[in-house]
């Protein structure tokens, strides 16, 4: 029994070590990507996110994986109380620079999706734009997102589906990180799914999102 416990403990600490290593590697990658003066995904908001929030009354919105801030700043300019986070310090700096240039304000912190905390039922909308995560992290994080939404609140998502692997317009190269309409609804327990579609669209979002893309678009409402 003691030997088994030692083995289990060793495996646990190895998992923690490799998770932290992955986080450090991802942070370094995104910081390097965002060091350039040019906004890598542009300064205009994602079309689907814009389409979904424009008819809504401005309230409290969260942007996970906010990157250089294009969506967050758009929402702030429309009167929303904007909260955002990302793993990258460089992303935060560029988002705040963009907000300042647009004479608006966002609440942005550097945080890891696996560890970040917000009060329960504190957001009217959570918008996930091309925020791709490893499966286990994603499942945990999505449950957290639902818990942060107020009853009746909306979750809006656009990201690459698994057919994106054959295209060069962006996105992860690991199929596990990509979305499918067949499975994504089940990843958001507690939401009534209003939209769940796979689409082919042409991206024009800065130098790193250009060309034909295969995406999933999802909207869910907290019950």
Predicted local confidence at residue 13, as pLDDT? 45
The two tokens of residue 184 are 């994504």
The two tokens of residue 211 are 């060309």
Cα separation, 195 vs 197, whole angstroms: 6
The DSSP symbol for 54 reads T
Backbone angles phi and psi of 191, in degrees to 5 = -110, 140
Predicted local confidence at residue 16, as pLDDT? 42
The two tokens of residue 166 are 């054959």
DSSP-assigned beta bridge partners for residue 84: 63, 108
**pLDDT tens sequence across 79-103:** 999 999 999 999 999 999 999 999 9
Q: In which residue are the tokens 């083995």 written?
A: 7
Domains of the chain: 2-222 (3.40.50.150)
**pLDDT tens sequence across 105-115:** 999 999 999 99
Predicted local confidence at residue 168, as pLDDT? 97
Nearest to 120 by CA among 145, 139, 94: 145
List all residues 6 or more positions away from 149 whose beta carbon is below 8 Å from its beta carbon.
121, 123, 124, 126, 155, 222
Question: Chunked in runs of 10, what are the mean pLDDT values of the chain (223 residues)?
Answer: 46 47 88 96 98 99 99 99 98 99 99 95 99 94 98 99 97 96 96 98 98 99 97
Predicted local confidence at residue 20, as pLDDT? 72
Predicted local confidence at residue 4, as pLDDT? 43
- The average confidence (pLDDT) of the chain is 93
**pLDDT tens sequence across 161-183:** 999 999 999 999 999 999 999 99
Predicted local confidence at residue 22, as pLDDT? 79
Rg (CA), the chain: 18
């Amino acid at each position: 029994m003691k030997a088994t416990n030692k083995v289990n403990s060793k495996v646990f600490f190895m998992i923690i070590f490799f998770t932290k290593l992955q986080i450090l590697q991802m942070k370094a990658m995104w910081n390097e990507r965002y060091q350039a003066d040019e906004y890598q995904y542009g300064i205009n908001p994602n079309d689907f996110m814009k389409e979904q929030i424009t008819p809504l009354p401005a309230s409290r919105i969260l942007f996970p994986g906010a990157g250089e801030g294009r969506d967050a700043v758009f929402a702030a300019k429309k009167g929303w109380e904007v909260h955002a986070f990302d793993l990258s310090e460089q992303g935060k700096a560029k988002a705040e620079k963009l907000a300042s240039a647009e004479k608006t304000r966002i609440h942005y912190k550097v945080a890891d999706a696996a560890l970040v905390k917000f009060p329960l039922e504190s957001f009217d909308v959570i918008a996930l734009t091309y925020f791709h995560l490893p499966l286990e992290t994603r499942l945990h994080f999505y449950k957290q997102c639902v818990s942060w939404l107020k009853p009746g609140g909306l979750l809006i998502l656009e990201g690459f589906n698994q057919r994106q692997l054959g295209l060069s317009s962006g996105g992860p190269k690991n199929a596990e990180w990509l979305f499918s309409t067949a499975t994504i609804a089940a990843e958001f327990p507690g939401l009534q799914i209003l939209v769940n579609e796979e689409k082919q669209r042409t991206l024009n979002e800065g130098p790193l999102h250009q060309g034909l893309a295969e995406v999933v678009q999802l909207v869910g409402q907290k019950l």
